[in-house]
Amino acid sequence: MTVVFTDIKNDIAVITIDNPPVNALSHALRSELSNALEGINNNTKIIAAVIICAGRTFCAGADIKEFGKPPLSPTLPDLMEQMDEFEKPLIAAIHGTALGGGFELALCCHHRVMDVNAKVGLPEVNLGLIPGAGGTQRLPRLIGLARALQMITSGKPINAEKAKKLGISEKVSEHNLLEDAISFAKGADVRRIRDLKVDGSTEEVENFQNKIARRSRGFLAPFAALDALKASMELPFEEGIVFEREKFMELVSSSHSKAQRHLFFAERAATKVDGIDKTTPTRKINHVGVIGGGIMGCGIAINFLSAGMAVSLLEISNEAVAAAGEKIRNIYQSMVNKGRISEEQMQTAINQLNLITDYDGLSNSDLIIEAVFEDLNVKKEVFRKLDNIAKEGAIIATNTSFLDINEMANVTTRKSDILGLHFFSPAHIMPLLEIVKTDDTSNEVIATAFQLAKNIRKTPVLSGVCYGFIANRMSSCYGREAGLLLLEGATVEQVDQTMFDFGMPMGMFTMLDMAGIDIGVMARAKLPNGSYDERAFSIHAVLVEKGHKGQKTGAGFYLYEGKEKKHNPEIDKIAEKMAHDFGISRCRKTTKEIEERCILALINEGYKILEEEIALSASDIDVVYAFAFGFPRYKGGPMHYAEHLGLKYVVDRINEFAVQYGDRWWKPSSLLVKRAKESE
Ligand code: T1G
């Protein structure tokens, strides 16, 4: 299939790339583009050339599907070298998102014309890579080192206006990109970025290293990018390109990049659900009702307000609903203060907020989400009321973290319109949305939920109903092992530091203190006896009994002076007493055991969730745990990481834990055992 087409308009060659869906720079595209350029360079009638793309975007990068396979000539660097020798003015006409190799292709042109809505960026770090086709050598030459450092280590694209300001593009096209590019080409000269000098210093690179240390902790690519950017100043261009390529090739074969590429495709695969596709009807959601003005309800409301939808937020009293309105305004104001949105955007969103205290105010909502107290009877009462007032065809959702949504649906006359939309706190920031289908949720409602997730820029994953769905069910197993390790002799700091060093954003006990220890204690109080390991959560219960609920009370697993946390000596005493009461012997715990107990508990529960068909795939589970709880993306998620460890090793270690700690929790999932056998 031909993917590159050449037209001659007067004496300007127009090269059109058409390689759906995103004009990724596949081998076929590179070959055909190389041939087209050669022909144009040798055609004396042609005075200049424009490269433009069909479809929704300029080239969105190298073809990620080719990574890990032997590179095929011409490689992208071969193509860039050929373009560098091109003797006629070459103009890139950019629309959509020119990313990675696509932007590098544009940087090899002599000029760039951008559509007013276009963006350019080098997001390779998100894939555990650095730009591998000259981006780290050309971009600093064009916009200076400081700005190139920011763009390449953040991976964030910039819009046409900013690109023009930085000198990346010389013209912004408001109407007809191709015409504007052709007219620009007529008067253009040959201007190779490689001939420019880098404006910057080595000190800038060193200072920037400190700046990204926290945000990029554990990742390889951002720091490799710094090395390549340093080389752009210290080495001649050709040597800088060789240096960049070497760094790139090291990363492409690294476990980090394989893990991050896995998550890139896993996130997209999660939106493909059997029985649901583009032909599945969906419902229009213009007006959303939110019940409950707590931190979750307000965060949920903000997601829809920011996506341009009208929101009616219901609370039980004028004071409560006014307080919710204040909370929402404060959150928006802090976004404005941080420069994330403009005052105008804040005002537009807030103008769409309707604060109500009567259920009838929800009667015209297309979607209603309840975020009331986490109690099944309270939620069933809400569903009964909604069944009477919601309009025909309204979707009714619960934000419950754990509870049985089938029971909520069963009190209504519209079970096929009921589902879970489980956000993670803070709901307006955390990217994951667990879409929880009941036994009766219709495909139309599920398809609508996936469309909604895209509109509010959330990453959706479908889950079935079980206690805690995917994320919290797995997290409670990690929490169980962390709690038992305290009884067995590990300290709070040791467990937290081990998991922080593993790559989690924070340790389990730091997270519990932040969220409030009482939330888990209350949820467990409602569980049937024997459904969880009381020993593992005994310290939690004692702390809450003493009123030590975490940061909010100044004491929990740590002591707090403001946000600064310090060792809480009381924990050691409680742990010793509890261990004695439960007949648990205490000893020093190694980092290896702490890490494996917590991580293998996640993996084993993930395989059980897969076995019970609560999750559709292992990669869905990886998306959930990476996007909800910050499992390090350079490890790909618990299930990808299990493959990295080796499934046989995982099963052997779980069996050893079963011998040491009993098989109540350490019985390996039968699916895991089966997959381990197949992998041998
Ligand atoms: N290669 C292969 N397939 C890609 C792709 C790519 N670069 N980008 C997207 N796809 C597929 C994606 O899997 C999905 O497939 C479909 O396109 C639509 O994507 C040398 C080494 C461009 C902003 O990191 O950020 O260049 O599921 O659902 O929401 O230095 O795709 O339909 O079968 O995401 O409209 C650098 C990655 C590569 C850009 C569009 N480039 N892509 O978002 O659609 S490395 C990137 C994106 C590189 C050079 C280095 C987004 C998008 P399917 P989608 P979207």
**Band of residue 112 on the pLDDT scale cut at 50, 70, 90:** very high
Does residue 76 have its Cβ closer than 6 Å to ligand 1? yes
Does residue 155 have its Cβ closer than 6 Å to ligand 1? no
pLDDT of the residue at 531: 86
pLDDT in tens, 517-535: 999 999 888 888 888 999 9
Does residue 638 have its Cβ closer than 6 Å to ligand 1? no
Does residue 420 have its Cβ closer than 6 Å to ligand 1? no
Residue nearest to atom 42 of ligand 1 (CA): 60
Q: What does the alpha-carbon distance between residue 304 and residue 307 come to, in Å, rounded to a whole number?
A: 5
- In the reported structure, the alpha carbon of residue 120 is separated from the centroid of ligand 1 by a whole-number distance in angstroms of 13
For residue 71, whether the previous peptide bond is cis, meaning omega lies within 30 degrees of 0, is no
What's the mean per-residue pLDDT of the chain? 95
The atom number, within ligand 1, closest to the CA of 63 reads 1
DSSP string, 613-647: TSBS-HHHHHHHHHHHH---GGGT-HHHHHHHH-H
Residue nearest to atom 47 of ligand 1 (CA): 60
Task: Specify the pTM.
Answer: 0.94
**Band of residue 191 on the pLDDT scale cut at 50, 70, 90:** very high
Using H for helix, E for strand and C for coil, what is the string for 368-435? Answer: EEECCCCCHHHHHHHHHHHHHHCCCCCEEEECCCCCCHHHHHCCCCCHHHEEEEEECCCCCCCCEEEE
What is the mean predicted confidence (pLDDT) over 572-582?
Answer: 96
The atom number, within ligand 1, closest to the CA of 22 reads 17
**Band of residue 562 on the pLDDT scale cut at 50, 70, 90:** confident
- In the reported structure, the alpha carbon of residue 215 is separated from the centroid of ligand 1 by a whole-number distance in angstroms of 24
Domains of the chain: 4-253 (3.90.226.10), 287-463 (3.40.50.720), 471-613+646-679 (1.10.1040.50)
Does residue 41 have a pLDDT over 80? yes
> What's 669's DSSP letter?
P
Does residue 133 have its Cβ closer than 6 Å to ligand 1? yes
Does residue 21 have its Cβ closer than 6 Å to ligand 1? yes
What is the mean predicted confidence (pLDDT) over 51-80?
Answer: 93
pLDDT of the residue at 523: 87
Does residue 410 have a pLDDT over 90? yes
Q: Is the distance from CB of 88 to CB of 168 less than 8 angstroms?
A: no
What is the mean predicted confidence (pLDDT) over 134-160?
Answer: 97
344 is catalytic: no
pLDDT of the residue at 393: 96
**Band of residue 69 on the pLDDT scale cut at 50, 70, 90:** confident
Beta strand 97-99 with 119-121 is parallel
Q: What does the alpha-carbon distance between residue 303 and residue 309 come to, in Å, rounded to a whole number?
A: 9
Q: Specify the residue for token string 């990217």.
A: 431
pLDDT of the residue at 10: 84
Q: Is the distance from CB of 153 to CB of 129 less than 8 angstroms?
A: no
Does residue 563 have a pLDDT over 80? no
**Band of residue 88 on the pLDDT scale cut at 50, 70, 90:** very high
Does residue 171 have a pLDDT over 90? yes
The atom number, within ligand 1, closest to the CA of 64 reads 1
What is the mean predicted confidence (pLDDT) over 647-675?
Answer: 96
pLDDT of the residue at 358: 96
254, exposed or middle or buried, with CB in 10 Å at 0-12, 13-18, 19+? middle
- In the reported structure, the alpha carbon of residue 24 is separated from the centroid of ligand 1 by a whole-number distance in angstroms of 7
Does residue 449 have a pLDDT over 90? yes
Q: Is the distance from CB of 220 to CB of 52 less than 8 angstroms?
A: no
Active-site residue identified among 38, 66, 81, 124: 124
Using H for helix, E for strand and C for coil, what is the string for 421-481? Answer: EEECCCCCCCCEEEEEECCCCCHHHHHHHHHHHHHCCCEEEEECCCCCCCHHHHHHHHHHH
pLDDT of the residue at 593: 96
Using H for helix, E for strand and C for coil, what is the string for 171-209? Answer: EEECCCHHHHHHHHHHCCCCCCHHHCCCCCCHHHHHHHH
pLDDT of the residue at 432: 97
Q: Which of 29, 30, 58, 64 for mutating ligand 1's site (highest number of atoms within 8 Å of CB)?
A: 64
Q: How far is CA 208 from CA 230, 243, 488, in A?
A: 11, 20, 42
Does residue 222 have its Cβ closer than 6 Å to ligand 1? no
Residue nearest to atom 13 of ligand 1 (CA): 265
Record the tokens describing residue 374, joined without a space: 């986490």
pLDDT in tens, 450-473: 999 999 999 999 999 999 999 999
C-alpha angle 206/212/217, rounded to 5°?
Answer: 120
Q: How far is CA 109 from CA 80, 157, 535, 621, in A?
A: 9, 19, 65, 42
Does residue 609 have a pLDDT over 80? yes
Q: Which residues pair with 286 in a beta bridge?
A: none
pLDDT of the residue at 528: 84
Look at the chain and count its residues.
680
pLDDT of the residue at 345: 95
pLDDT of the residue at 239: 97
Q: Under DSSP, is residue 509 helix (H, G, I), strand (E, B) or coil?
A: helix
Does residue 124 have its Cβ closer than 6 Å to ligand 1? yes
- In the reported structure, the alpha carbon of residue 100 is separated from the centroid of ligand 1 by a whole-number distance in angstroms of 10
pLDDT of the residue at 71: 85
pLDDT of the residue at 641: 98
The atom number, within ligand 1, closest to the CA of 102 reads 26
pLDDT of the residue at 83: 95
pLDDT of the residue at 1: 84
For residue 74, whether the previous peptide bond is cis, meaning omega lies within 30 degrees of 0, is yes
161 is catalytic: no
The atom number, within ligand 1, closest to the CA of 269 reads 27
Beta strand 171-173 with 564-567 is unpaired
> What is the residue type of 338?
K
Record the tokens describing residue 303, joined without a space: 């997601």
Q: Is the distance from CB of 509 to CB of 558 less than 8 angstroms?
A: yes
Question: 7 φ, ψ to 5°?
Answer: -120, 150
**Band of residue 235 on the pLDDT scale cut at 50, 70, 90:** very high
Does residue 429 have a pLDDT over 80? yes
Does residue 267 have its Cβ closer than 6 Å to ligand 1? no
Residue nearest to atom 27 of ligand 1 (CA): 268
- In the reported structure, the alpha carbon of residue 157 is separated from the centroid of ligand 1 by a whole-number distance in angstroms of 14
